[in-house]
Amino acid sequence: MPSAFTIALIPLLPLLGFVLLGCFGRQVFRKYSGILATTLLFGATIIACFTAYRYFFHEGSGDAGYESLVPLKLTWLQFGEGLSIDMGIMLDPVAVMMLVVVTFVSLMVHIYSLSYMKGEERFPTYFAFLSLFTFSMLGLVISSNIFQLYIFWELVGLSSFLLIGYHYDRPSAVAASKKAFIVTRFADLGFLVGILVLSYFSNSLDFPTLIQRLTDPGSDELKAAVSSSFLGVSALTWGMLLVFMGGAGKSAMFPLHIWLPDAMEGPTPVSALIHAATMVVAGVFLVARLFPVYALSAGLALDVVAVVGAVSALLAAVIACAQTDIKRVLAYSTMSQIGFMMFALGVSGYGESGYTASQFHLFTHALFKALLFLGAGVVIHYVHSNEMRDMGGLRRQLPLTHVAFLIGCLAIAGIPPFAGFFSKEQILEAAHQNNRAIYWTALVTSGLTAFYMFRLYFSVFWNRPTHPGKTHGREGSVAMLLPLVILATAAATAGFIPFGEFVSSDGKPVDLHLQLSSAILPVMAALGGISLAAWFFLRENDRAARAAFAVKGLYRLARNKFYIDEIWLFLTRKIVFGLIGRPAAWFDKYVVDGLVNLTGNSTALLSEKIKTLQSGRLQQYALWFLAGAIGLVVLFIYVWK
Amino acid sequence: MTGATIIFYLLAVMTLVSAVLSVTTRRIFRAAIYLLFSLIGVAGIYFWLDYQFVGAVQIVVYVGGIVVLIIFSIFLTQAAGEKMPRQRTGRSLLAAIVSAAALGLILVEIGRHRFRIPEEQGAPVTVRTIGNQMLSTGEAGYALPFEVISILLLAAMIGCIVIAMRSPAGESEKRDMQAGPDTAEKL
Amino acid sequence: MMTPGLYHLLFLSTALFFIGVYGFFNRRNLISLLMSVELILNSVNLNFVAFNKYVWPGRLDGLFFTIFIIAIAAAEAAVAIAIIINLYHTHRSIDVEAAEELKH
């Protein structure tokens, strides 16, 4: 097993990149910034893969399956006995898997950005922010302490803010970055309260200790946490629900998903890295990290997770069917797939297959979603527009991208033998065993997924361009196409990894065999969706328009994202600002400030009165002199004997 | 009820009443006259106490000198006839209260104090004894203060002359500097 | 009524003193102020003489103080009148309120 220092290098190398590029990028490195960042990240990737190899095949496996190793633990802030914020590294199957995923996808995005962002004036700054993000995400996944995780959580949010608002001269980008930060910050409030509740009951902030104390049936902490209740729900469940609120915000679950479509204002490689493959799955990671507590001690919270995931998945799929911006379709598809991951966790019991299926889907989704986004980036770069109506018939002009994009779409639709089939299959299997309602919802969503993804594919690469705009000429440079090739290969083959051997909630291998009988239904749903999309969009026709007209109401709802943004705006403007903000401001201005002003004014008034004593009239002085002398005499004779 | 007692009370009443009238009247000339009567009353008290020399000095200097000086200055500042403006009521009231309070306090304290009054009365005081004592340099002699007083009087004389002289001199200088058509009339 | 003694004289002189003090606070005319000051000085003189007569009968100190105070009062009144006349020439008024250069 590599030493703690070597493992620590995985996040520290990108951090070094951030510091160097942040301080010296503009003056010293300039156009070599990208190379520097990519090289450092390549080093981190190698170390991550090596660590994974050693963990999964050598040191990680103990008698009872894979266990969590803590190679590093430094006490930082001691609050009391046992309660301290430590900085440490914890490796368990999910963490190691995430290390590999994050470094690998980040590397692909770095290489892609070398070409995509070439010619940008703030080229070094971009790579500095990208390195910062990678550092934060890597730190997040290897945190051994829940507060440390929170710190990196906020750092990830910050990096996302910086990268979404990268083109700060665009008001829409600025607004989007603010929206993302505010929504996730609001969710993080719940997260923080949840952390406080958990640490109060378990008297520890360390993951292994916290989980053990809150799941061991005999522990006093668990009894205390479960017995105290509020509104009929135990305190522990409240804590877990609040923690999930934080995860839901970061992972764009309903109703905190409003920031994700707007976040597409950022550059496309950023969308690929942050808002598809890595940051948005942080919520899933968090639930997975605390899964034993969810499964064994707070079942109600787990049910909420499942319902929220399923609702988000279905909602996002419906909305995606009516969007015309290529990146927005992909954003909603991300939300939908994360919904899949969430409800897979939600329906799973401790040690069951749902957990593994969820993590497997996280793994494969990262690969094919990054592929789809990078491919979309090539298309956008080529036609200089995000709208689907400006694209069409591009399969001849962008052959490599076409094949890669097709592989990505097939993967997300769940067509064998691509990666998405295997992971989605397992999820549906787990849902089928535990919650039939969610199973049918998931099935419908799968069909919709295939439909809207292939709607996108056919509109872009087949069909006829509605508004043929200017086109770039060349498909793209090697730097842009190489990651596509690598990711396409990965998306095609990753399904065959025996995930159940490595990742599961209790460390023991889970049997993920494929039952052909149950696999038929989803595949058929997917094929149905693809055919429908082809019927509508393969050739130029007006069938789609007529169909949309037929379901006018629903279409309009979907097109306007179910007006959820408007509802949030109403809530904040009318209710929070109007009923809470404005009275508070009035109180502050007239009562608090008024008191302070009163003090000032009364002092001034008093001084005006006292000023008249300096009248210059000697008689008055003499009068007060005598009065004072008499007063003193009385004092000395009668009062102070 | 001896005659001495009656005389004392009469003199005391005259002094106090004149003093009160002097400080409250609104016509300044009358105030000066009331002051005159008050000072005569005090001189009377001195005579009643068998200190004739001091009583004489009081009349000569105070009544005959100072009050006359005051009357002259009243005429010089042309304020004899009109009624003087009154002080603000608040100030008046405050002054009255403070003075009355102080008066009451001091009287109470004096009343409470037991002065050691010796039984035997001393020899009657004559001008000869006063003169000898004042100019002697021995024990309880007042030769030094006597000399100092003369210096003081000299200084006061010179000071008065200087102060009183400056303003006309200043005015005549101003007049010399303003040479104009009206200068001849003023001169 | 008893024979007037020390206390009666002290009563008289104290009353005279505070009448003078009241006049000093209350009057607006500079000359009236001077007259009040003369009353105060006289009350002091009475005090000295009273104590000399009743408490220290064999000595003459009180008497001498009285004589000197009279002399000094005369000098002071002369100087004061000179100043008042000077002030009258510059301000054309002997109202106390008129001389307010010291006012804040």
- The answer to whether residues A269 and A377 touch, using CB atoms and an 8 Å cutoff, is yes
- A-C Cβ pairs (cutoff 8 Å, strict): 27
Q: Tell me: the pLDDT tens digits for A578-631?
A: 888 888 999 988 888 899 999 999 999 999 988 877 777 788 888 999 999 999
Q: Is C25 in contact with A617 (Cβ distance < 8 A)?
A: no
Chain B partners within 8 Å of C84 (Cβ) = 73, 77
Label residues A77-114 b or e (16+ Cβ within 10 Å = b): eeeeeeebbbbbbbbbbbbbbbbbbbbbbbbbbbbbbb
**What does each C-alpha distance from B19 to A28, A611, B22, B93, C92 come to in angstroms?**
100, 35, 5, 19, 28
Q: Tell me: the pLDDT tens digits for A54-86?
A: 888 876 666 555 667 777 778 888 877 767 788
Closest CA to C97 of A620, B76, B23, B26: A620
Q: Is B102 in contact with A630 (Cβ distance < 8 A)?
A: yes
pLDDT beyond 60 at C104: no
- A-B Cβ pairs (cutoff 8 Å, strict): 16
Q: Which of C22, C66, C79 sits opposite B95 (nearest CB)?
A: C22
DSSP B26: S
Q: What is the pLDDT of residue A227?
A: 75
CA distance A425 to A361: 9
CA distance A124 to A24: 9
In Å, how far is B28's CA from the nearest CA of chain A?
19
Domains in chain C, ordered, with CATH?
6-98 (1.10.287.3510)
- Residues within 8 A of C (CB atoms), B 4-33 only: 4-5, 8-9, 12, 15-16, 19-20, 22-24, 28, 31-32
For residues A535 and B181, the model is more confident at A535
Q: Is B28 in contact with C67 (Cβ distance < 8 A)?
A: no
Chain C CB within 8 Å of residue B100 CB: yes
- Residues within 8 A of C (CB atoms), B 64-93 only: 65-66, 69-70, 72-74, 76-77, 79, 84-87, 91-92
ipTM of the complex: 0.90
pLDDT beyond 90 at A335: yes
- The answer to whether residues A461 and A395 touch, using CB atoms and an 8 Å cutoff, is yes
Does B140 reside within a domain?
Answer: yes
Does B108 reside within a domain?
Answer: no
The neighbour count for residue A547, using CB atoms within 10 Å, is: 13
- Residues within 8 A of C (CB atoms), A 587-616 only: 611, 614-616
For residues C40 and A62, the model is more confident at C40
Give all strands (DSSP E) within A57-124, no chain letters. Answer: 61-62, 65-66, 69-78, 84-91
Q: What is the pLDDT of residue A235?
A: 82
In Å, how far is A636's CA from the nearest CA of chain C?
21
Lowest mean pLDDT among A304-318, A382-396, A462-476, A497-511: A462-476
In Å, how far is C59's CA from the nearest CA of chain A?
31
| Residue of B23, B97, B105 best to disrupt the A interface, most CBs of A under 10 A | B105
Closest chain A residue to the Cα of C95, Cα to Cα: A617
Q: What is the pLDDT of residue A330?
A: 93
The neighbour count for residue A586, using CB atoms within 10 Å, is: 10
Q: What is the pLDDT of residue B171?
A: 53
- The answer to whether residues A141 and A279 touch, using CB atoms and an 8 Å cutoff, is no
CA distance A72 to A135: 17
Q: Is C25 in contact with A622 (Cβ distance < 8 A)?
A: yes
- The answer to whether residues B14 and C10 touch, using CB atoms and an 8 Å cutoff, is no
Q: Is A633 in contact with B101 (Cβ distance < 8 A)?
A: no
Using 50 as the pLDDT threshold, list the residues of chain B that sit under it: 178, 180, 183-187
The SS3 call for residue A511 is coil
Q: What is the pLDDT of residue B187?
A: 44
Does B173 reside within a domain?
Answer: no
Q: Which of C24, C33, C102 sits opposite A616 (nearest CB)?
A: C102
Q: Give the residue carrying structure tokens 């998306």.
A: A491
- Residues within 8 A of B (CB atoms), A 184-243 only: none
Q: What is the pLDDT of residue A152?
A: 94
Closest CA to A265 of A175, A353, A158, A394: A175
Q: What is the pLDDT of residue A366?
A: 92
Q: What is the mean pLDDT of residues A408-426?
A: 87
Q: Is A623 in contact with B109 (Cβ distance < 8 A)?
A: no
The SS3 call for residue A262 is helix
In Å, how far is C53's CA from the nearest CA of chain A?
28
Q: Which of A626, A634, A637 sits opposite B98 (nearest CB)?
A: A626
CA distance A542 to A30: 50
For residues A254 and B42, the model is more confident at B42
Q: What is the mean pLDDT of residues A532-549?
A: 78
- The answer to whether residues B57 and C70 touch, using CB atoms and an 8 Å cutoff, is yes
Q: What is the pLDDT of residue C74?
A: 94
Q: Give the residue carrying structure tokens 């000093």.
A: C24
Q: What is the mean pLDDT of residues A476-484?
A: 82
Does B50 reside within a domain?
Answer: yes
Q: Which amino acid is at A360?
A: F
Does B27 reside within a domain?
Answer: yes
Average pLDDT, chain A: 85
- Which token pair is A477? 């440079």
Does B17 reside within a domain?
Answer: yes
Q: What is the pLDDT of residue B186?
A: 47
- Residues within 8 A of C (CB atoms), B 146-165 only: 149, 152-153, 155-157, 159-160, 163-164
* C-alpha distance across the termini of chain A, in Å: 89
Q: Is C39 in contact with B130 (Cβ distance < 8 A)?
A: no
Q: Tell me: the pLDDT tens digits for C45-103?
A: 999 999 999 988 888 899 999 999 999 999 999 999 998 888 888 877 767 766 666 66
Q: Is C103 in contact with A617 (Cβ distance < 8 A)?
A: yes
Chain B partners within 8 Å of C5 (Cβ) = 117
In Å, how far is B95's CA from the nearest CA of chain A?
7
Domain that holds residue B49: 1-86+135-167
Average pLDDT, chain C: 88
Chain B partners within 8 Å of C11 (Cβ) = 107, 110
The SS3 call for residue A325 is strand
pLDDT beyond 80 at A224: no
In Å, how far is A628's CA from the nearest CA of chain B?
10
CA distance A420 to A408: 9
Does B124 reside within a domain?
Answer: no
Q: Is A630 in contact with B95 (Cβ distance < 8 A)?
A: no
In Å, how far is C48's CA from the nearest CA of chain B?
11
Domain of B62: which CATH number?
A: 1.20.120.1200
At CA B129, angle to CA B126 and CA B131, rounded to 5? 105
- Count: domains in chain B: 1
Cα A230 from chain centroid? 29
pLDDT beyond 80 at A380: yes
Q: Tell me: the pLDDT tens digits for A177-186?
A: 999 999 999 9
Does B40 reside within a domain?
Answer: yes
